[in-house]
Structure 1
Amino acid sequence: MVALDQKLLRDLRHLRGQVIAIALIVACGIACLVTMLSAYDSLQLSQQTYYDRYQFADVFAQLKRAPDSLIERIAELPGVQQVQTRVVVDVNLDVPSLPEPATGRLIAIPEQQTPMLNDLFIRQGQYIEPGRRDQVLVSEVFAQANHLELGDTLGAVINERWQQLRIVGIALSPEYVYEIRGVELFPDNQRFGVIWMGREALGTAFDMDGAFNDVALSLMPSANPASVIFRLDQLLKPYGGLGAYERADQISHQFINSEIESLAATAVMVPFVFLGIAAFLLNLVLARLVSTQRDQIAVLKAFGYDNLAVGWHYLKLVLVITLLGAGLGTIVGIGLGAVITENYARFYHFPVLRYRAGLQIMITAIVVSGGAAVLGTFTAVKQAVSLPPAEAMRPEPPASFRRTIIERMGMQQFIPPVGQIILRNLERRSLQASLSILGIAAAVAILVIGRYFEDATNYMIEAQFRQVQREDVTLVFNEPLSSRARYELTHLPGVMQAEPFRAVPARLRFQHQTHLSGLTGLEPQGELRRLLDQDFYPVPLPDQGVVLTTKLAEILGVTPGDPLTVEVLEGERPTRTVPVVGFVDELIGLGAYMDIHALNRLMREGPTLSGAYLTVDAHHLEQLYTQLKQTPAVASVALRERVITEFEKTIGGSFAIFTTVLVIFSSVIAFGVVYNVARIALSERDRELATLRIIGFTQGEIAVILLGEQAIVTVVAIPFGFALGFGLAALITRAYDWELFRFPLIVTPASYAFAFVIIFLVALGSGGLIRRQLNHLDLIAVLKTRE
């Protein structure tokens, strides 16, 4: 072993506490990087492989009813490669183990198994047999949630007739990787499932022999999707087309892509914070080491070691610390990545979702950590290399003396000597103190962010499911019904109040902006479904005009008073112009609302409703569920409390892991910063502190001098950390400003208190370690002169 390597090992042993602290910070950054990159890689690879192998479509459209003869004309559209037409209908289900009704989406499939768009992967069982009208395949997640097995039966209301369906297979489809109806944020797999049924059986039951109401297309690589969609809409318009859309707007694909994009962004942002702090600490440690080893550098150069050898020696110290952290971080990251990927399997359903952490990711981790370390310590290494031997043999010149701000203001008599020493050192080392404040503030900010997600979701539940949606049950009918249905609803078991609504599919247009959405007509004085502004004040529904959610208004670029063109995609498909009269703040979905009577007038129809919001006596719920299961007119039933339960379970499970990891990582940052800065201060001032001990200062007083500085730095850093955390929460709010849902900018006092307590405990622990080292300070050794 060469002499410089022996010196390197001695330096590592001497700095072992600081080495461990910095290596842990590097490990946190690399763990985040490996976790996010590997989960991103695994999810993206699974998605792309599944889409390609099972022919996920590029364009989708729903319609009222069109004859099969139209298929040939669709196939002739420029850019269309393959056409798949289907019958798709939502029906009420009676699941044996479920007291309340469930919703099943029946999708027609060929009688004989053949390759098709949105093809099926059969996990268990077999394909349906030709001519067996009762045989079905069910989605895997629905079967698991309801403990359904091959051979079990489901009751379904199919075109107003009760029918038993026998499960012969359990399957997956690329169209329902994230299985929701399209109106929820999170899946309710017990109460919504996809069921595949023979084309002949389903077509006959719903008067769709030789017809279809759903079409999917795959496109040629050179095709223009917008052009294909425009031409397809023109073809489907006479048949009640509801507006075609491309893959990017398909609900399941939207959720998966949003998750993948979030992983990619997090893989860049979070490790940057950790590695930046690690680089700062490495620079401090190395700069101090160079300062205390000036004479050793001079001797090395005098014995013939050139600048390159000396620089490489100190750079190796940095790289050893970094590689230790990178190795540990890679191991932890692989473990966390596997946990994250397993968690995704709860929501995204692939035939195979395997966790993959390739060699490329590990090489990336090493290169990123090493690069951050080299950049962070460049100035310290340059300082070691540039020291001439003659100058390096001299001791480091003492700091120049100047009066502090407190002394210039004449206030020193009000501050005890210990306090004056603390303030003097903080002012003279202002840059070091500022960087320490920044490091601790970053740790506080990460803790705030960890709790922010919980605050945001709690607020979403309160705002959306307690203030806006106040009904117990939401019913959606198969077809629009007359107003008489409202009074019939009040006679259902346990129904105390019923408020009707009218939902109309529509394309909203303002200038060159369009959005495929719909209009919802509500009772103007309704109490069960309310329109509220951001302060929870009711927004009135005027006799004329439309009220939009703020996100939809942003997409369309409208302001109050602007004329909005509404192309209705139902009935006679009228095109109307209505004024925008106001906005409401809703966190889930996009909405356009009108007075239900105004919407009926716009449609030029009598009093008509598409569904109703109900409040129900809890003692009669079971009777109500039994009757709804066999009511032909009801297409789906949604229960508000079930939605809240699923929401809390999903968010709680996901963010519990996330918050725990952030608490551990931010605690490591806080400990690493406080301990390293205090340890460096001790090594820089051991001579001064020993002198104070000899002239009469107690151990407690010199501990107050050293740790008091760290306490002031920590106290000052905490409010900065709060502000930084709030700023990061604002950035996250903008990043999660999606059409599907929006995160509110809400950080509660409890989150700030949580961050404060964690940082206080970590600072107390690191301070205890420094106090222990002060108690063992060797006065004779540190007072020996270096000249």
Structure 2
Amino acid sequence: MLSPLDKKLFRDIWRVKGQAIAIMLVIASGVTLMVMMDGMVNSLTDTRDTYYERYRLAEVFAPVKRAPAHMVDRVADLDGVLVAEGRINAAGQINLPGIDVPVRMQAVSLPEHRQPGLNAVYLSAGRHLQANQRDEVLLLESFAREHELAPGDRMTVTMNGARHQFHIVGLAQSPEFLYTTPPGELVPDEARFAVVWMNQKALAAVFDLDGAVNEILLRTSRDVSETGIITELDRLLSPYGGLGAYSLDDHLSNRFIVDEINSLRVSSRTVPPVFLGVAAFLLYIVISRMVQVEREQIGLLKAFGYSSVEIGGHYFKFVVLIAAGGALLGCLMGVWLGHSLSGFYQLYYKFPFLVFSVDPSAFVIGFVSSVAAASAASLLVLRRAFNLPAAEAMRPPAPPDYSASLQIPKPVSTWLDQPSRMMLRSVLRQPARAMLATLGIAAGMSLSVAMLSVMSAFDRTISLSFDVIDRSDVTVTFIEPLGSSATFSLQSLDGVFKVEPFRAVSVLMRNGVHDYRGSITALSENPALYRAVDVSMQAIDLPTEGIVLSRSLAEQLAILPGQWLTIEIREGRRPVIEVPVVSIADTLLGSPAFMSIETLNRLLKEPGRLSGAYLSIDQQQSQRLYRQLKDMPAVAGVTLREESRSAIREVMDTGAGAMRFIMTAIAAVISFGVVYNTARISFAERARDLASLRVLGLSRSETGFVLLGELALIALLALPVGCLLGYFLTSLIAEAFSTDLYRIPMAFVPASYGLAMLGVVVAAVVSGILLQRDIHRLDLVSALKIRE
């Protein structure tokens, strides 16, 4: 049996159902983001760890030029090594019919008579390799899907300068290749990079590595230092051309998946609290004004004998029911959106399985924070009403003293008609209420500004990277560094306008306790096709001595211009050099480091060597040029700038970057909810006043103008405030979205601010239309019965 107060509770909620739904949507928006992003972080982390463990991903990788197979046993005897396994890992090209651009390939060996002890593969179609079959391969499933290849098909590959025919017997996935990126590139492209697995003897025969390996994989015990094992590995493999062992933390695929998870984790800790904070502020405004409207009902309930505690419990349940409904809706929406995105992540990161799971604490935090914010807002207002005696609370509040309030200047007043003066006077006489309403709308609008600006910044990142920084058409990389004559060979090809050589070397950079495994890109003097640029996007002149670091790399190394950086070269003679940091470049993709090619070659004592070249070409002759490059045995790969642009756009539109679309939609919902709630509360507060104006002879249009004009004025005042708040919020959210792969620049994009302002205007117009209908339905008889 419901008590009278509970019956009143449900009647009140039904009476303000429009406002209740709007408030619930505001709360649900913040909780949705929190639950969804927490679920994605947990799902990716748990799936990655399970996948790595189930398929025994190595924890240390030790590439080497050529090491005898017995070295694997010596490595296995090192203290702390649980499993050691040798393999062959080599590069090649796949020749596909109808594709002129060389397609890069990585060939990985598998033991012939057993499953690999480390880095096992997941067979998604077909069968495993048969022992002693030299023409069978497993092909990476994502590449096969892009080119419509299947078990039973044959393909031609070029390895070690010779062409070979292979039979595809199965499609596979591997935790080692969650993020498939061509060597020397940052952006994954499933269509331009393939992985094939072959029997070890077959691959050894192709690269003349019988009885030898060129990579050793390790798993270590948990109580041993990986750094110590890596140091010992480098010592053991140095006579055989060791290229520098590294841990799983520095493995390219793992680094990107970890970076994706960290980006989501940072976003989940930064963005949802901002949305919930805005929602809490809006709830305070809305609920405080709603309770103030109920002042006379509170007095009436007291007169009937209800205590302040009972009345407080009634209004507290009113607020909690709305807040709990919004939080529950947010939890359900978060689970639904997160579950939908989990399938997308499974395809994008090539997981054979992915189970969406949410930490229960995310539900608790979202629910408690929403209810607590709503409850705090209501208690602050109810405390003032409860202190009133019943008789006083039942009377309308004493007319406020407006003698000290702002007045309309007389020159302005003479130009305004009566409804306009009434509207403007209402704003000037209650500036605190107008200011809170303005801040509420501005806060909602700031979310839209921030998300639209971040979306524009993603496009700006791509534009600056491929139109200002990289202005080449084609990037050619060689199998190994060549002499300067390679530049002239490329320049002599038909359709090549300009050639700019570069040298790329694998390095380990150290600054005190900070280190970074990456590469140095050495460019020619005054490059035009690929440049290091400063914060104003002006080219940086590469120094004859020293190095230029990207801003993200300098931050990771905690180093400033003028300080010295220790660099361990990971190829050739592997010298250790120290160079000064002379400048910081504002690259937006990756974490590159730049030097002069002459300086780097001098330090390496390898004059005139280059790893590749940037080309400017005649697009009319591009297909013939690609075929010529494809037939050059020294060419390891060809990268087209437009393909790289498309690939990075796909990366930014997926993964953590895809979250910005959902956040933009949620920001729009909040923005509309704020405007609509502001309008509804204003109408609830002034319904009797508006009815009185109708009784006094004002028309419906004039009466509506008094209220809607005030709403329009507040909305207009909120526009510049929302732009200002949005500018600072953009900086916070852009930093949360930035990763090691790309950085989101902070920039003022007028179109983003214009769209956000347009959204507020549209929300105000729609709210005004809905309110005008209620104004037409005002009960004039009730207004005449009011006792002042």
Q: Where on the TM-score scale, by shorter chain, does this alignment land: which range?
A: over 0.9
Q: Tell me which amino acid in the other structure corresponds to 2:648.
A: F
In 2, Cα distance between the equivalents of 1:597 and 1:499? 13
Q: Tell me which amino acid in the other structure corresponds to 1:118.
A: N
Give the CA deviation at 1:122. Answer: 0.7
| Alignment pair present for 1:595 and 2:606 | no
1:255-266 paired onto structure 2 within 5 Å: 255-266=256-267
In 1, Cα distance between the equivalents of 2:591 and 2:282? 47
CA 511–115 in structure 1, closer or farther in 2 if over 3 Å, else same: closer
Q: Is the 8 A contact 1:439 1:669 kept in 2?
A: no
Gaps of 5+ in 2: none
| Structure-2 residue corresponding to 1:579 | 580
Give the CA deviation at 1:343. Answer: 2.8
Give the CA deviation at 1:176. Answer: 1.3
Q: Tell me which amino acid in the other structure corresponds to 2:568.
A: E
CA 484–635 in structure 1, closer or farther in 2 if over 3 Å, else same: same
| Structure-1 residue corresponding to 2:767 | 766
What are the superposed Cα offsets for residues 648-672 of structure 1, whole Å, 9 maximum, x if unpaired?
A: 3443567996565445433332332
| Structure-2 residue corresponding to 1:342 | 343
| Structure-1 residue corresponding to 2:199 | 198
In 2, Cα distance between the equivalents of 1:291 and 1:424? 21
CA 751–485 in structure 1, closer or farther in 2 if over 3 Å, else same: same
Q: Tell me which amino acid in the other structure corresponds to 2:126.
A: G
In 1, Cα distance between the equivalents of 2:626 and 2:535? 35
In 2, Cα distance between the equivalents of 1:269 and 1:514? 27
Secondary structure of the residue aligned to 1:57 is: coil
Q: Is the 8 A contact 2:452 2:664 kept in 1?
A: no
| Alignment pair present for 1:34 and 2:35 | yes
| Structure-2 residue corresponding to 1:129 | 130
1:391-470 paired onto structure 2 within 5 Å: 391-406=392-407, 418-470=419-471
| Structure-1 residue corresponding to 2:22 | 21
CA 431–262 in structure 1, closer or farther in 2 if over 3 Å, else same: farther
In 1, Cα distance between the equivalents of 2:11 and 2:143? 62
CA RMSD of aligned residues (A): 2.9
CA 192–774 in structure 1, closer or farther in 2 if over 3 Å, else same: same
| Structure-2 residue corresponding to 1:316 | 317
Give the CA deviation at 1:350. Answer: 0.6
CA 490–125 in structure 1, closer or farther in 2 if over 3 Å, else same: same
What are the superposed Cα offsets for residues 513-533 of structure 1, whole Å, 9 maximum, x if unpaired?
A: 433333332221332222222
Secondary structure of the residue aligned to 1:39 is: helix
| Structure-1 residue corresponding to 2:709 | 708
Return the TM-score normalized by structure 1.
Answer: 0.92
Moved more, 268-277 or 134-143: 268-277
CA 736–301 in structure 1, closer or farther in 2 if over 3 Å, else same: closer
1:212-291 paired onto structure 2 within 5 Å: 212-291=213-292
Q: Tell me which amino acid in the other structure corresponds to 1:106.
A: A
CA 44–172 in structure 1, closer or farther in 2 if over 3 Å, else same: same
- Number of aligned residue pairs: 787
Q: Tell me which amino acid in the other structure corresponds to 1:92.
A: Q
Give the CA deviation at 1:174. Answer: 0.9
1:358-369 paired onto structure 2 within 5 Å: 365-369=366-370
What are the superposed Cα offsets for residues 698-739 of structure 1, whole Å, 9 maximum, x if unpaired?
A: 433332322222222212222222222221221233334543
Give the CA deviation at 1:766. Answer: 0.6
| Structure-2 residue corresponding to 1:752 | 753
| Structure-2 residue corresponding to 1:96 | 97
Gaps of 5+ in 1: none
In 1, Cα distance between the equivalents of 2:620 and 2:36? 48
Q: Is the 8 A contact 1:493 1:621 kept in 2?
A: no
Secondary structure of the residue aligned to 2:688 is: helix
In 2, Cα distance between the equivalents of 1:349 and 1:171? 10
Give the CA deviation at 1:202. Answer: 1.5
Question: Percent identity of the aligned residues?
Answer: 39
What are the superposed Cα offsets for residues 226-254 of structure 1, whole Å, 9 maximum, x if unpaired?
A: 33333333333443333333333322222
CA 761–663 in structure 1, closer or farther in 2 if over 3 Å, else same: farther
| Structure-1 residue corresponding to 2:163 | 162
Give the CA deviation at 1:51. Answer: 1.6
CA 182–389 in structure 1, closer or farther in 2 if over 3 Å, else same: farther
Give the CA deviation at 1:143. Answer: 0.9
Q: Tell me which amino acid in the other structure corresponds to 1:750.
A: A
Give the CA deviation at 1:539. Answer: 1.7
CA 461–210 in structure 1, closer or farther in 2 if over 3 Å, else same: same
In 2, Cα distance between the equivalents of 1:752 and 1:14? 36
Q: Tell me which amino acid in the other structure corresponds to 2:726.
A: G
Return the TM-score normalized by structure 2.
Answer: 0.92
Moved more, 284-293 or 337-346: 284-293
In 2, Cα distance between the equivalents of 1:294 and 1:87? 80
Moved more, 355-364 or 463-472: 355-364
In 1, Cα distance between the equivalents of 2:568 and 2:330? 55
CA 382–474 in structure 1, closer or farther in 2 if over 3 Å, else same: same
| Structure-1 residue corresponding to 2:537 | 536
Q: Is the 8 A contact 1:97 1:146 kept in 2?
A: no
1:686-705 paired onto structure 2 within 5 Å: 686-705=687-706
Give the CA deviation at 1:123. Answer: 0.8
In 1, Cα distance between the equivalents of 2:560 and 2:31? 46
Give the CA deviation at 1:760. Answer: 1.1
Q: Is the 8 A contact 1:283 1:380 kept in 2?
A: no
Moved more, 639-648 or 25-34: 25-34
Q: Is the 8 A contact 1:311 1:384 kept in 2?
A: no
| Structure-1 residue corresponding to 2:639 | 638
Give the CA deviation at 1:275. Answer: 4.1
Q: Is the 8 A contact 1:440 1:669 kept in 2?
A: no
Q: Tell me which amino acid in the other structure corresponds to 2:505.
A: V
In 2, Cα distance between the equivalents of 1:364 and 1:573? 52
In 2, Cα distance between the equivalents of 1:389 and 1:580? 75
| Structure-2 residue corresponding to 1:628 | 629
